[in-house]
Amino acid sequence: MEKRVVLELRGRSPSQIKELNLDNCRSTNIVGLSDEYTKLEILSLNNVGLTTLKGFPTLPKLRKLELSDNRISSGLDFLKGCKKLTHLNLSGNKIRDLETLQPLKEIEKLRVLDLFNNDVTNIEDYRVKVFALHPSIKYLDGYDPDDREGEDSDAEEDEVEELNGNNDSEEDSDVEDEEDDDDDDDGDMSLSAVYRDNLEEESSSSSLFEGSDEEEEEDEDDDNNENDAETVHNTKAKEGEVNARDPEESTRGKKRKHEDEDEN
């Protein structure tokens, strides 16, 4: 087993390993595994030839443990360091009585237990007694307490874990989306405000130009009026001068007319 463990590590440190498959490697006891596997979540030891679990390491993150087709008859208390264990497969071993299962009560998160092809399954009301002994168990040998078959109890539990993780990711993404939407809204508001300001500026500019044109027209009208007034004034002044000269001119004209008549 120890050589197989080294092979499966592939140069990585034990603290980096999350899944370890040691199926079919031959050993009667646990060797090569230690408490260094702090991130190990899945461990498979099927058909290894184990007769005892003595020396089983403390694996705080272990969720799934496969021990089928070995020769284990006792010593389940060595699993008490696996507090997060939810799946335990002990099918095809040598467990004969319910007392051997007592230590599993300390694993409070245990949901799936497989004891198929063990002598303990021949005990009268075996299923009822196991469910009563371990209330946390949801599926025993693939069936729930009402004898309803789980489609795939292992996959179901794994799916729950994945869904929980995905939900967390989705919530984060939703928060980010909301933040992005807020930013977009702010951008839209800014653009509309700028657009509105531009319109107001253009409108103000147009009003100014129109006002200036009107002022220019008024100024022109004033100038024209002034010119007309000046022209009228000058005309009147000339007429006054002419009128002022008219008496003399008319008198002179009359004298000349009389003189001409006297000569004739």
What is the token pair recorded at 181? 């939407």
Q: What region, left, alpha or beta, does residue 147 occupy, with left being phi > 0 and alpha being psi -120 to 50 degrees?
A: left
Q: Are 92 and 122 in contact (CB under 8 A)?
A: no
Residue 223: per-residue pLDDT: 54
> How would you classify the pairing of strands 139-140 and 19-21?
unpaired
Residue 150: per-residue pLDDT: 76
Residue 194: per-residue pLDDT: 47
DSSP assignment of 68-122: -SS---S-GGGGTT-TT--EEE-TTS---SGGGGGGGGG-TT--EEE-TTSGGGG
Q: Are 10 and 32 in contact (CB under 8 A)?
A: no
Residue-range domains of the chain with CATH = 2-150 (3.80.10.10)
Helix (H, G, I), strand (E, B) or coil at 38: coil
Residue 123: per-residue pLDDT: 96
What is the token pair recorded at 123? 């005990």
Q: Are 74 and 55 in contact (CB under 8 A)?
A: no
The one-digit pLDDT tens for each residue of the chain (264 residues) are 989 999 999 999 999 999 999 999 999 999 999 999 999 999 999 999 999 999 999 999 999 999 999 999 999 999 999 999 999 999 999 999 999 999 999 999 999 999 999 999 999 999 999 999 999 999 999 999 999 987 654 445 554 455 445 544 455 555 455 555 555 544 444 445 544 555 555 555 444 444 445 455 555 555 555 555 454 445 444 454 444 444 444 445 444 544 555 544
